[in-house]
Amino acid sequence: MGIPIGTDTSRIIAEIIGCSIDEALVTQLRKEGIAIKGYRFVDDCHFFFHTQSDAEKALMHFYRILSDLSLSINEEKTLLTRAPFQFDSNWSRQISGFVFRNSEIRYQRLDIRHYFNLLIQLSKQFPNDSVIKYGIKRLKNLKINKANWELFESILYSLCIAEGAILPDMLSILLQNKTDLDLSKLQSIIEALLNQHVYKGNHFEVAWSLWMARSFGIQVTNSVAQEIADSKDIVSIIILLDLIDNKLVSGPVSTSAIAAEFRQEGLLNEYWMLVYEANHKGWVASTVLSTVSFFQQISTLGISFYDNTRQVAFGSSNIWTGPGNTPKNAKPTTAKGDGFVY
């Protein structure tokens, strides 16, 4: 029936595969009497061994296990090194240690600009690392003076153009500052993102840009909407049909390419979610669900795989509303995620 691809489903599938790799590696090393300590967060791994030879053997087994799954190691990020060694990269320490001054408006404005320049500089210096994605997380809880909001908002938009992977984080920040957004500027950014990524086939960025438009009731042009409708990007097409249903597309869009899948085979191949949701929600008129009893039954039960009432988590506004003009920012902290520990 096909595998649904998206942020949450991809993470689940990645963990299923990752856990099987964990188990296979630990089992093989135990057979050889090799002690291993380590940590894995999604696909980033750090392993620790008593000797150089144990580390080399483990790496060899790791290569083989991945190869059996038609996966490969990123050679540029793989290395053997002796202790003592740095736990954090230089760039992450620079970002987490950056201090935003809680003084006058003009000094905070300078700090915001310097932080932006630092992220851009480090992202170019370390192109294989998620520098901007790491850096934007500090901005979520940053309290700024209202006089600096326009600069702060513009910097957010510049960062998302530079790095599409931060779109979920940016949406979170925008939602917590919804009443202060310049919607005309946001519409221009969404158009720029869609024009940048649709033609490159960057499905993640396209889907999040469309969801951003849905979140703020912003229209997308029918020309770019047509490109999406004619693509093979199932998740983005589902969001697009929702936009069309809510009159958030500037003009007519032909759905003939989509309608071609509205047959029994469409429910049994990689288009199943698109065919099901479009019929279940009444976006496209068809009786195709009646051809497969399973889908007809779950539709009758009101089951949907696309919930447009859900939203990313977000906090309180970044704009300082306390007494005086000086925001009270906490000292920087380094967030740690969950992972698999050997």
pLDDT band at 327 (very low <50, low <70, confident <90, very high): low
Predicted confidence at residue 10, as pLDDT, reads 79
Q: At 89, is the pLDDT very low, low, confident or very high (cuts 50, 70, 90)?
A: confident
| Rounded Cα gap, residues 207 and 227, in angstroms | 13
Query: By three-state DSSP, how is residue 40 classified?
Result: strand
Q: Tokens at residue 225, please?
A: 């909407």
Binning pLDDT at 50, 70 and 90, where does residue 309 land?
very high
Please answer whether residues 18 and 24 qualify as being in contact, where contact means their C-beta atoms are separated by less than 8 angstroms. no
- Comparing 200 with 257, the larger pLDDT belongs to 200
Confidence of residue 284 (pLDDT cuts 50, 70, 90): confident
Q: What percent of the chain has pLDDT over 70?
A: 91
Q: Is the pLDDT of residue 341 over 60?
A: no
Q: Are 193 and 161 in contact (CB under 8 A)?
A: yes
Q: Note the pLDDT of residue 214.
A: 97
Closest CA to 243 of 287, 194, 314, 294: 194
Q: Do 215 and 177 contact (CB within 8 A), yes or no?
A: no
| 54 pLDDT above the threshold of 70 | yes
% residues pLDDT > 90 (the chain): 69
Q: What is the pLDDT of residues 134-191, one digit of tens each?
A: 999 999 999 999 999 999 999 999 999 999 999 999 999 999 999 999 999 999 999 9
- The answer to whether 237 and 261 have CB atoms below 8 angstroms apart is no
Task: Return the pLDDT at 168.
Answer: 95
**Could you tell me the pTM of the whole model?**
0.78
C-alpha distances (whole Å) from 86 to each of 74, 92, 175, 209, 311 are: 20, 11, 37, 37, 37
* pLDDT computed for residue 277 by the predictor: 94
Q: What is the pLDDT of residues 192-223, one digit of tens each?
A: 999 999 999 999 999 999 999 999 999 999 99
pLDDT at residue 339 in the model: 38
**Structure-token match 């199932």, residue found:** 234
